[in-house]
Amino acid sequence: MTKTLCTILWLFACSISFSQTTCDSLVLLKKQLYGFKPSELSDSLKDIKAGELNLFWNTAHNNPANGAQCVEAMIKNETKDSYFCFDAASLLVRLDTSERYLPTVIEGLKKCNPEDLQLASYLEICFYLAYKKQDVSELATRLISIPNAQVFLSEHFITLDAIESGIFLFNTMPEAKAEHVLSSAILNGNSTARHNAAVILNLLSTDRGDSLLNDFIQKKQLADSTIELINSDKKNFTLDAKGTESRAKVLEALNDAPYNIDKNFFGFAGNDNLIGSACKVLTIKDLDRVREARLKSTPGLSDEALHEYFTLTGIIITVRSKKEK
């Protein structure tokens, strides 16, 4: 059944490719193949549908320049098909590796419902866009607004929750931008967004972020469970300031972060002596250097990057807790 259907569709695609333009073919294939919700399909039907959608992708890849222009127009004109907007955005980002179509990719992602998607793919595209210096504020807010979100990174065999996933996106933003987006999510988002945004804002560990959180708490805009987690994180992320490394060695490590293979340096995470030394010798005046290292701690989506982020966050929180002499 599956083989027969794929053969028919392949012959169909071949027949239209000779008689119509690439865009005509894509428009016709869209009508034939899309208009469904993945969440409503069984696993077997999802496999069949994935094979069918390859026809759309292959047709576009056969003429990337015209295919990209057509897919861009289709995304802009689509108003109903959530999954098409996501799949087309995923295709468009691969058809043209320049930054020309990135705003349209973002537009497509904004039109889709993340709860209907494989969230790993959504996170991967958002992360790519962020490192291309695109504004992913709304996309990041959508991700941390999904109740019980699970993002399975198959290459690393780990499953991230919304907070862990959101960290990868918010850590690409300047701190002032992250503070603004997170505070807006607390003020305007659903209960899930308010909780997750507050936790991430606390991990950001800035003076303004702390001031905003205190204000939200005083105005009773955060749930008790959220406040409890924030207080728990502040306690758990405060580390022992014990270590034997010199201040020069700690500063050198910050400059080399997240790693320096030539020096056999692979980050702070797991190096208890270096972590304790950083907490011991660094002062408030050094925080900008630690924050710079943290911004570089997530060059890719991995558990190693997340561990490095959390370790440097612990150093930041610990140093901030010290009274300046």
Which of the two residues, 46 and 173, has the higher pLDDT score? 173
Co-location of 89 and 125 in the same domain: no
Instruction: Write out pLDDT tens, residues 129-162.
Output: 999 999 999 999 999 999 999 999 988 889 999 9
DSSP string of 243-291, one letter each residue: ----HHHHHHHHHHTT-BGGGTB--STT-HHHHHHHHHH--GGGHHHHH
Query: Last residue of a domain, which of 203, 236, 269?
Result: 236
Measured CA to CA, the distance from residue 46 to residue 222 in angstroms comes to: 40
Q: Do 309 and 263 belong to one domain?
A: yes
Same domain, 129 and 232: yes
Q: What is residue 114's predicted lDDT score, i.e. its pLDDT?
A: 84
Whether 150 maps to a domain, the answer reads: no
DSSP designation for 160: E
Asked whether residue 308 is domain-assigned, the answer is yes
| CB neighbour burial string for 96-105, b if at least 16 within 10 angstroms, e if fewer | beeeebbebb
Is there a single domain that holds both residue 113 and residue 126?
A: no
Contact yes or no for 272/244 (Cβ under 8 A)? no
Are both 129 and 217 inside the same structural domain?
Answer: yes
- Taking residues 218-229, report their average pLDDT: 97
The 10 Å CB-count burial string (b at 16+, else e) for 197-234 is bbbbbbbbbbeebeebbeebeeeeebeeebbebbeebb
Has residue 220 been placed in a domain?
Answer: yes
Rounded-to-integer distance, Cα 263 and Cα 316, Å:
24
Amino acid identity for residue 281 in this structure:
V
29 and 110 together in one domain: yes
93 contacts 125 by C-beta, under 8 angstroms:
yes
pLDDT at 184 over 50: yes
Pairing label, strands 158-160, 151-153 = antiparallel
Confidence of residue 7 (pLDDT cuts 50, 70, 90): very low
Domain stop point among 175, 209, 236:
236
**Containing structural domain, residue 310:** 247-321
**What is the model's pLDDT at position 41?**
87
Residue 205 to residue 233: CA distance in whole angstroms:
11
Final residue in a domain of this structure, among 201, 217, 236: 236
Instruction: Indicate the pLDDT class of residue 323, thresholds 50, 70 and 90.
Output: low
CA atoms within 13 A on the CB side of 283: 4
pLDDT at 19 over 50: no
Average pLDDT over residues 294-314: 97
Please tell me the total count of domains within the chain.
Answer: 3
The reported pLDDT for the residue numbered 118 is 86
For range 154-172, the mean pLDDT: 95
**282 exposure class (CB count in 10 Å sphere: 0-12, 13-18, 19+):** buried
Count other Cβ atoms within 10 Å, centred on residue 110. 12
Same-domain status, 62 and 83:
yes
Same domain, 1 and 52: yes
Which residues fall within 8 angstroms of residue 79, CB to CB, at 6 or more apart?
111
Helix, strand, coil percentages for the chain (3-state, nearest 5): 70, 0, 25
Q: Calculate mean pLDDT across residues 70-99.
A: 95
Rounded Cα–Cα distance for residues 284 and 321 (Å): 9
Mean pLDDT, rounded, for 217-235: 96
* CB-based contact 221:185 (threshold 8 Å): no
Q: What is d(CA 255, CA 285) in angstroms, rounded to the nearest whole number?
A: 16
Shared domain for 15 and 92, answered yes or no, is yes
In-domain check, residue 154: no
Note whether residue 185 is domain-resident: yes
Q: Looking at the structure, do residues 78 and 189 belong to the same domain, yes or no?
A: no
Q: What is the pLDDT of residue 155?
A: 86
pLDDT above 60 (res 24): yes
Same domain (yes/no): 38, 13: yes
In a domain? residue 153 = no
Residue 126 lies in a domain: yes
Instruction: Say if residue 130 is in the same domain as residue 184.
Output: yes
What pTM was computed for the model? 0.90
Please tell me the distance from the alpha carbon of residue 163 to that of residue 247, in angstroms, as a whole number.
Answer: 33
Answer whether 196's CB lies under 8 Å from 162's CB: yes
Is residue 19 a part of any domain in this protein?
A: yes
